[in-house]
Amino acid sequence: MADTALTAPLRSPLSQVAERLAAVTRTSGGAIRLAELPFLAQVDVRLDAKGAAADAVGLALGLRLPLEPNTVVRAGESNVLWLGPDEWLLIGPPDSERDLESRIREAAGDEPVSVTDVSAQRTTILVTGPRARDLLAHGCALDLHPRAFGSGRCAQTTLGRTQVVLVARDEPRAGFWVLVRSSFSGYLAEWLLDAATEYA
């Protein structure tokens, strides 16, 4: 029994709707693309932005923790999102959460720092295509115009009737990441699919 479990594939929250999400590319004529980016490493980091740990952690990760609210700093495969004045969300490639956590803890040393693996807490939905912004505007009260929410911006807000973390990716054409609590992801996927109907 244990053997079968070892080989069982991981199941992401939106694995059951992956095909329907993919079909939007075709039905919208390429105007909108939707896809789950499953299993990304996500680590919540809490520390005093003015303390010694901030620089040390940044150094260990090869980046500077963003101090400007609602911005993202990218380094290689990792992105760090500002979530609060003492809180960041580190997003890395799948399976890197343990490595990230230990690097942060080591770098912080004796400084008080809280590191929490939240990789499964939220899943990530990629929303891209020429009409991506219009699609999100159906349910997001934030101004998503590039003047207000351009590359490198992120925000915790609501989309439809659920809370999300929204990330404008580095290039405008790369669209948005929508990070949503896993338990709400089924709802949000249905919401996005319904909103995308318009762009057929």
Residue from 24, 140, 168, 178 in contact with other proteins (CB under 8 A): 140
Q: Rule CB under 8 A: is residue 19 a binding residue for other proteins?
A: no
Q: Rule CB under 8 A: is residue 171 a binding residue for other proteins?
A: no
One-letter identity of residue 19: E
Q: Which stretch binds other proteins (CB under 8 A): 17-25, 29-37, 152-160, 167-175?
A: 152-160
Contact (Cβ atoms closer than 8 angstroms) between residue 113 and residue 46: yes
Pair of tokens at residue 197: 């109907």
Ranges within 97-116 binding other proteins (CB under 8 A): 112, 114-116
One-letter identity of residue 67: L
Q: Rule CB under 8 A: is residue 132 a binding residue for other proteins?
A: no
Q: Which stretch binds other proteins (CB under 8 A): 17-25, 38-46, 57-65, 73-81?
A: 38-46
Residues 143, 56: Cα–Cα separation, whole Å? 35
Pair of tokens at residue 73: 């700093």
Residues 177, 171: Cα–Cα separation, whole Å? 12
What percent helix, strand, coil does the chain show, rounded to 5?
35, 30, 35
Residue from 65, 70, 153, 176 in contact with other proteins (CB under 8 A): 70
Nearer to other proteins, 69 or 76 (CB): 69
Residue from 35, 49, 52, 142 in contact with other proteins (CB under 8 A): 142
Give min distance, CB of 6 to other proteins, in A. 5
Residue from 117, 130, 151, 174 in contact with other proteins (CB under 8 A): 117
Residues 194, 91: Cα–Cα separation, whole Å? 28
Could you write out the DSSP letters of every residue in 62-91?
TS----STTBEEEETTEEEEEEETTEEEEE
Please, which residues have CB within 8 angstroms of residue 172's CB and are 6 or more apart in sequence?
146, 150, 151
Where does this chain bind other proteins (CB under 8 A)? 1-6, 8, 10-13, 16, 39, 44, 46, 69-70, 83-87, 112, 114-122, 134, 137-143, 145, 148, 155-158, 160-163, 181-184, 186-188, 190-191, 194-195, 197-198, 200
